[in-house]
């Protein structure tokens, strides 16, 4: 699969996320690839943004229910995930590889701060919901439908792969700027068949747009 990374156990406050994020608690690793070529990896031209965007009014909290990423054909239901007492991040069940998970202790998509969504890259049966995440490029659109009927729209700022041992906790789980942002996380890099795990995490950074 893959969303092995690090996470913070803060509940709802963005300020708490900024502090707890430095703890870097580990989460589970499950690599079950059935795709010998492996998932697409971020290109060198997809690792930076360098662009400013017009401020977008932030939304109040509402649970996200649906994720759409037209550029890579993702149309996925969202389920809430959190962390267990051992500091392990929950992920969607492997028998539902087309579902992505929203990190519920953080902010919801459209609120001020970084909303985090994780997903499997693959399973023993083949590609999963975030298999093509590495193909995203700056400017691609991400839409999240919320339980209140509103749609939070984001534009990709950058895509990069990070070694799991150096996961950018603050970048993903930190408070971010004053506006709404989104982080998508899955596995990538080299697959270790013996450990059943990938070497890296692919992280997509996106900012809310009108």
How far apart, in whole angstroms, are the C-alpha atoms of residue 76 and residue 61? 20
How far apart, in whole angstroms, are the C-alpha atoms of residue 130 and residue 119? 6
Q: State pLDDT tens for residues 79-93.
A: 999 987 766 678 888
- What is the CATH T-level fold of the domain 6-44+61-208, as seen in this structure? Sortase; Chain: A; (2.40.260)
How far apart, in whole angstroms, are the C-alpha atoms of residue 61 and residue 70? 25
Q: What is the pLDDT of residue 53?
A: 67
Q: What is the pLDDT of residue 171?
A: 95
What's the whole-number mean pLDDT along residues 94-112?
95
In the numeric block, the tokens 């890296």 are attached to: 200
Q: State pLDDT tens for residues 177-190.
A: 899 999 999 999 99
How far apart, in whole angstroms, are the C-alpha atoms of residue 35 and residue 164? 21
Asked if 167 and 7 touch (Cβ cutoff 8 Å), the reply is no
Full-model pTM: 0.81
How far apart, in whole angstroms, are the C-alpha atoms of residue 126 and residue 33? 7
């Amino acid at each position: 699969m893959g969303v092995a990374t690090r996470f913070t156990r803060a509940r709802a406050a963005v300020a708490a996320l900024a502090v707890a994020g430095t703890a870097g608690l580990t989460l589970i690793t499950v690599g079950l690839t059935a795709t010998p070529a492996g998932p697409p990896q971020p290109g060198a031209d997809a690792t930076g943004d360098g662009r400013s965007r017009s401020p977008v009014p932030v939304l109040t909290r509402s649970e996200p229910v649906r994720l759409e990423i037209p550029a890579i054909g993702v149309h996925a239901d969202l389920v809430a995930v959190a962390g267990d007492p051992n500091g392990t991040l929950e992920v969607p069940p492997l028998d539902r590889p087309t579902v992505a998970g929203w990190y519920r202790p953080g902010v919801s998509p459209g609120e001020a701060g970084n909303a985090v969504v994780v997903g499997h890259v693959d399973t023993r049966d083949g590609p999963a919901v975030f298999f093509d995440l590495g193909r995203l490029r700056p400017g691609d659109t991400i839409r999240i439908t919320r339980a209140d009927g509103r749609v939070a729209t984001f534009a990709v700022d950058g895509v990069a792969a990070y070694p799991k041992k150096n996961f950018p906790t603050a970048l993903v789980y930190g408070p971010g700027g004053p506006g709404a942002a989104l982080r998508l996380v899955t596995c990538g890099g080299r697959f270790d068949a013996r450990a059943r795990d990938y070497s890296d995490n692919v992280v997509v950074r996106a900012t809310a747009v009108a």
